[in-house]
Structure 1
Amino acid sequence: MSINVTNITKTYGTQKALNSVSFSIKTGEIVGFLGPNGAGKSTLMKILTTYLPTSEGKASVNGFEVSKDDFKVQKSVGYLPEHNPLYLDMYVREFLHFQAEIYKTSKSEIEKIIERTGLSPEANKKIQQLSKGYRQRVGIASALLHDPEVLILDEPTTGLDPNQLIEIRELIKSIGKEKTVLLSTHIMQEVEAICDRVIIINKGSIVLNKNLAELQSGQQQIVEVEFDYRVETVALQKLPNVTKIENPGGHFIYNIYFSTQKDMRSEVFDFAHDNGLKILQLHQKNTTLEKLFVELTSPQK
C-alpha cells in the first residue's frame, strides 16, 4: 500500500479533529478526499506529510512510518498545501532551482518539470505576475520536482476559472497514471472526473470509502417531467425499469425513478407522444456524488 492509516486520532485540547480514522490507498490510485470545512481533511494531510504528529494511531507512506521515518516520508511525498507557499518575488525557473537545491535534485529535472506542468510560456516571469492557475502549476511543479511516489494535493483548484480548472484537472490525471494521488477538494465534478475512489470524512470520522464505479453503478436515475395534463401514475409505471413515481404537490410534474443507467428521457418523450401529451419540461436528476455528500455531512449527522 502507498498510504496506510490505522486508527489515527488527533486532538487539540478537548477538541477531537480526527477520531480513529483508518483507510489505505494502493499504488497508482487517485483518491478524492472530501469533507465539509473543519472535518479534518487538512489535519490528516499534515499528519501524512509529517507536519503534525498524531495523538493516537499509526500512519505510513510507502512503507515508512510518519512518526519514525519522517525524512524518508518527506522524500517520497510531494505536497501542495491549500495555501500554496510561493516566493512571489522570484522568477519561476529561479524558484524551481531553489527547490531543487533543497531536495538535492538534478538541475536537469527542472526543464522536464517545467514542460510537463505547462509552465514553459511563463518560466521567465516572476511568480507575482502569474495568474492563479499558473501559480498552482508552479506549486505542483515544486511538489513533483524530486519525483515522489505519492502526491498529496490540498484544494489544488480553489479559485480557478473553468479553463484553468480543466487544465489542472488534466495535469492531475496524467500524474495519476504513474503516481499515487490523494486529492482534497470541494468540487464534486472534479472527483467524478479524475478519481478512482472517494473517501468522505465528517466531524473527524470517515462516513464513506468506496470506488466511484461502485457508487455510480448503484445510482438511481430520476427523470423530472412536466406534462400539459394530469397523468395517472399507473400509466407511467408501464415505462420500462420504473421503480417509483412521485407527484409532488399533485400538479402536472412527476419524478420518475428508473433502475438503469440508460438515459430514459427518450422513453418519457415517446410516452408523451403516444398518449397525446405535451412536455413542458424534462430533466434528468440522477443521484450525484454531491447529493450523497450532503446526505452524509448534513448538520443533523
Structure 2
Amino acid sequence: MAFTLRMTFSGLCLFAPEPAGRGNVRGATGRMHVLMPGMFGHEHGTDRHVPVLSYDAGYLAQGGSLLGIPALAKLTGLTLAPVAGQEASLALCGHIVDLKEITNRPVDPDHLGADTKKKLVSRVTLGGGGITRVAPGACWEWRPGEFRPIANKVEWEIRDVQGDRLELVGEALGGGGAPKPLGTLYPVNGRINLDVLHDTGEDLLADPMAMDHSAPPMPGESPRHFSAYYGVFGGPVPIVLPKYWGALSDAPQIANGCEVIPPDMGTKIYNCLVASVSA
C-alpha cells in the first residue's frame, strides 16, 4: 500500500538543498532542508515566531474521514524528517528568491545537522518528492529596479510513500534527548496533507490558512521579519530586503516559475516570505 504526502510550508521558511553525491560529483537529488530561523532579540515579543505542524484530526483514525478540525503539534526545538532518503528533487523555482545570490555563500552546514549553534527554532528535512506549487504573493522590488513576485507559501509533494500510516517523530535539533511523537497518521483517499507554519502567535491565532484581508504595506516597506534569514550564514553577509511595490498583477512574468496555488486557498502575503539558498 502506498499514499501521497503533501506538505505546505508558510511563514519564515528557508529551503536549503543538500545534494547527494560521491566525492566531487553532486547530483540534482539529495535532501531538502527547510530551516526555520530564530528571531533573536525578539523571542518574547510580537515578532516571536512559533513553528507548528498542523493536520486534519481525521488522519488520526485508521479508516476514518476528514473532519475539518485541525490538530496542532509544536515544533520548537525539533527537527522532523517525515520520509527518509536522499531522493528529493533539489529544483528551486523562480518564485522563491535565492539568498545565495546576495550572500555569495551557503548556509552554515551546522544548520543541516545537529544545530549546536542554536540559530534555528525548527527544521524539516525532506528525503523525497519535490516542489509542486507556490503562492506567488504580491509584487516586490528585490534588488534595485528588479520587480518580481516572491512566494509566501510552498507546496511539496512526495508520491508513493510506502506503508499504511505515517509515524511523525521529532528529534532534538541539537542532537540527543528522547524522540517526541507527533502523531500517527493514516491516509484518507490515498493522501495525507500536512501544514508547516512558522508565523507569529498573532498570525497563528488568526488562522494563517484563511484569506489575508489585512491592509497591504506602503510602497517601499519591507517585510518585518525577512532579515532573520541572514543570521544562518555563519558570519557577516550583505543584506537585501524586499520592498513592497503592489499587487501581484503589477509583477512581471518570471522565468522558471512554479505552478501557482489558487488564491482562494488563502495565505498571508505581506509579512513572512519564503526564501531559498542554492547549494
TM band (smaller chain)? under 0.3
Task: Flag the structure with larger Rg.
Answer: 1
Q: Higher strand fraction: Structure 1 or Structure 2?
A: 2
Q: Higher helix fraction: Structure 1 or Structure 2?
A: 1
Q: TM-score normalized by structure 1?
A: 0.25
Q: TM-score normalized by structure 2?
A: 0.26
